[in-house]
Structures are given as structure tokens and as C-alpha cells.
């Protein structure tokens, strides 16, 4: 699946803001998994959970989520939000297996750079 955003740009931005909440899992000396965690005082957010294709289905994604949840819980976060494309059925199943469920909300966005024709 091709991401809407350029992960390299988003990782660089995360390193500049809340870099302590960008987690990297190292497996056999190489990056095996990552997750970006955010918190604005009300809700926690999970972004860019990723596991190397050759390491998937071995529990690394679950481990990253457990770490993210623990950090958010420690700062008093009561609820975590994340967004998944409706067509990404495998990822929806994964998060459901971790206890996540759909909220009755509509996700909205607004481009601040004036480029309304490009999805971010």
C-alpha cells in the first residue's frame, strides 16, 4: 500500500517535535518496526505503525502498540485514536485484535498550504 504522505518527511518532522515518542524496534541489528505516538492533553494518537514485511505476523506490531499505549497511559491519556483507510482490511483486523473499535465520527481535514488537489 502506498502512503498518502512521504514517510521520510513526516519522520523528520516528528524528530523535531516529540522525538521521544517516535519508537523504533531493532531486530537483528536493523530497523524492524516503528510507531509515532502523539498526545495533546486530551487524546493520544497513533501514526505510522509499521513492521518490515519479512517480520510481520511475529508480534512486533503488537509490541510497538503495547509500548505506545504504556507511554500514553503513563501521562494520563484515557483514549487513543488512530486512522485507517476503509480499504485496509488487514490493518483493521489487526487493531480490532488489540481491542480497538470504530468510533462513530467523521474524520475531516483541511490543507494549510493551499494545495487542495493533493492528498496528504
Long-range CB pairs of 4-11, under 8 A, 24+ apart, other chains included = 4/119, 4/120, 5/120, 7/48, 7/50, 10/36, 10/47, 10/48, 11/36, 11/48
Instruction: Identify the pLDDT of residue 19.
Output: 77
CATH for 7-97 (1.10.10.60, 3.40.630.30, 1.10.3720.10, 1.10.40.30): 3.40.630.30
Per-residue pLDDT of the chain (120 residues; tens, 9 = 90+): 555 667 777 777 778 777 788 999 999 999 999 999 999 999 999 998 999 999 999 999 999 999 999 999 999 999 999 999 999 999 999 999 999 999 999 989 888 987 766 555
Instruction: Identify the pLDDT of residue 14.
Output: 78
Residue ranges per domain, the chain? Answer: 7-97
Instruction: Identify the pLDDT of residue 4.
Output: 62
Instruction: Identify the pLDDT of residue 1.
Output: 52
Q: Which residues pair with 36 in a beta bridge?
A: 22, 47
Instruction: Identify the pLDDT of residue 113.
Output: 83
Instruction: Identify the pLDDT of residue 53.
Output: 95
| Report field, pTM of the whole predicted structure over 0.85 | no
Distance CA 83, CA 108 (A): 11
Amino acid at each position: 500500500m502506498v502512503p498518502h504522505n512521504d514517510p521520510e518527511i513526516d519522520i523528520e518532522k516528528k524528530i523535531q517535535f516529540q522525538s521521544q515518542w517516535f519508537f523504533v524496534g531493532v531486530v537483528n541489528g536493523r530497523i524492524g518496526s516503528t510507531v509515532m505516538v502523539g498526545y495533546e492533553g486530551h487524546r493520544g494518537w497513533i501514526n505510522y505503525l509499521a513492521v518490515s514485511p519479512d517480520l510481520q505476523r511475529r508480534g512486533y506490531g503488537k509490541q510497538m502498540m503495547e509500548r505506545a499505549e504504556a507511554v500514553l497511559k503513563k501521562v494520563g491519556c484515557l483514549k487513543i485514536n488512530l486512522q485507517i483507510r476503509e480499504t485496509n482490511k488487514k490493518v483493521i483486523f489487526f487493531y480490532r485484535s488489540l481491542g480497538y473499535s470504530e468510533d462513530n465520527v467523521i474524520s475531516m481535514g483541511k490543507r494549510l498550504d493551499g494545495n487542495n488537489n493533493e492528498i496528504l
